[in-house]
Structure 1
Amino acid sequence: MKKAVVINLSPKKNGTSVMLGNLCLGFLNEREHQGAIVHLYPHLKDLQQVLSAIEGADTVIMVGPCYINTYPADTVYLLEEIIKHKTILHGQNLYGIIQGGMPYVHTHESGLKMLKLFAKEGNVNYKGGFVIGLGAMLNGQPLDKLPNGKKANRFFNEFLNHVANGENSTAALYRNAQLKLPGIVYWGMANRMNKMIDKGLKEKGIDVTQPSPYFKN
């Protein structure tokens, strides 16, 4: 029986990333894979359990949220530590799943590209990934709660079928699954989101009319 491990790269244990991880496990278990999920954040001070899970697996699936165009920063730390312990890598198949707040997928693809670059440094086979937009909207709920839920479910299951068979999965799958709207709708959504952010900042006593400190010399 093949072994698979899902690495939850999110600080949340019951959010959208874990929901997707559990979908992976359910799908793979039905296809004679022995699977488990390991949460990164409780083990940041001692990664031994995470590293051991990767070493014992035939397939590694890294799933997490998109924070500023890629996975959370601690994902980079994990990948660096894996490279320091290269002996745990023995040709495993590596897949990535990343979900973010934006409805389109191109802003989240950098996370998958990072995994692809990582694979070149170690004895691991990057086989592709899947991007899901509007992940923050789900907050742990099933994929069918998305406006494009039927498409997302169908193409995500195709991706999981590739994982189960150890096959390459192309970007065409998740690009076909994304929610496609006119540009004016995206503009309206971004405008509304910016207003919500400004409201939250004001409630914390932050003057949003002041120049960003990041632009100061």
Structure 2
Amino acid sequence: MKKVVIINLSPRKKGTSMMLANRCREFLSVRDYQVEILHLYPNLKNLSALMAAINEVQSIIMVGPCYINTYPADTVYLLEELEKNRDVLHGQDLYGIIQGGMPYVHTHESGLKMLELFAGENDLSFKGGFVIGMGAMLNGQPLDKLLNGKKAERGFQHFLENVAKQEKSSSELYHQAQLKMPGMVYYLMAKMMNRKIDKERRGKGIGDQVKSPYDNTNINY
């Protein structure tokens, strides 16, 4: 039986990234795969469980959100630690799934590029990935809840078939699934999302009066 480890790169154990990780597990489990999902964040202080799992599998799937154009920063830490422990890397297939708030895929593709570059330097076979826009709006709901749900579902299904066959997955799958709208619609959507974020922020007591940690106005040069 073939083995695959799915690594949830999100700090959330429930959300869109985990919904996608579970989809992968369900799909592969009935196709002669032994599948394990591991979470990065609870293991940050001790990555031995992740290292051991990676060493035992034929395929690795990294699933996570897009934070400022790529995966969360601790993903880089994981990759750095893997490079230090290269004995666990022995030609495994590596796939990436990244989802973010923006509807267009080019904003999030750099996360997959990071994995591709890492694989090329560290004895892994990068087999492609899948990008999903508006993942934040899903908040863990199924893909068919997206405005482009049918196309996203169809493209993701093809991606999973590629993973099951250990084949390279083309970027055309997620480019074709991308939601295409006029620029003005994107603008209005961004305003709505910002209002929603502001409302949630105020609901948690995070007001505009809170000093930003990036405010350098008091620094004397």
Relative distance call for 1:14 and 1:198 in structure 2 (3 A) is closer
Q: What amino acid is aligned across from residue 71 of structure 1 in structure 2? A: Y
Q: C-alpha deviations, 1:84-132, integer Å up to 9, x for none?
A: 0000001000000000111111111111011011112211000100000
Unaligned runs of 5+ in 2: none
CA distance in 1, matches of 2:174, 2:200: 32
The CA RMSD over aligned residues, in Å, is: 2.0
- Residue number in structure 2 paired with 1:206: 208
Aligned to 2:79: 79
Aligned ranges for residues 145-156 of structure 1 at < 5 Å? 145-156=145-156
Task: Quote the residue 1:160 is aligned against.
Answer: 160
Q: Which moved more, 1:191-200 or 1:138-147?
A: 191-200
CA-to-aligned-CA distance 1:136-163 (integer Å, 9 cap, x gap): 1111111111111111111101001111
Shift of 1:194: 3.3
Q: Residues 160 and 214 (structure 1 numbering): CA distance in 2 closer, same or farther, change over 3 Å?
A: farther
Match of 1:53 in 2: 53
CA contact (8 A) 1:93 1:166 kept: yes
Aligned position for 1:98: 98
Task: State the AA in 1 paired with 2:30.
Answer: E
Q: Secondary structure at the match of 2:105?
A: coil
Amino acid at match of 1:31: R
| CA–CA distance in structure 2, aligned partners of residues 49 and 204 of structure 1 | 36
AA in 2 matched with 1:106: H
> 1:39 aligned to 2:47?
no
Q: Give the counterpart letter for 2:164 in structure 1.
A: A
Q: Match of 1:18? A: 18
- Within a 5 Å distance, the mapping from 1:113-132 to structure 2 comes to 113-132=113-132
SS at match of 1:31: coil
2: CA distance, partners of 1:111 / 1:187: 24
Q: Match for 2:155: what amino acid?
A: F
* Cα drift, residue 72 of structure 1: 0.5
Question: Aligned partner of 1:92: which letter?
Answer: Q
- 1:195 CA displacement: 3.7
TM-score (norm. length: structure 2): 0.91
Whichever residue aligns with residue 130 of structure 1, its letter is F
The match for 1:144 is 144
Unaligned runs of 5+ in 1: none
Question: Residues 175-210 of structure 1, C-alpha deviation per residue, up to 9 Å, x if partnerless?
Answer: 1111111111001112233344455666633259x9
Equivalent position of 1:191 in the other structure: 191
* Alpha-carbon distance in structure 1 between the residues aligned to 2:191 and 2:17: 26
Whole-angstrom distance in 1 between the partners of 2:132 and 2:32: 26
Q: In the aligned structure 1, how far is the partner of 2:70 from the partner of 2:119? A: 16
- Counting aligned pairs with the same residue, the percent is 62
In structure 2, distance between residues paired with 1:195 and 1:15: 21
User: Within 1, Cα distance between the matches of 2:106 and 2:197?
Assistant: 22
| Preserved contact between residue 64 and residue 71 of structure 1 (Cα < 8 Å) | yes
| Aligned structure 1 segments of 4 or more residues deviating by more than 2 angstroms | 191-205, 212-217
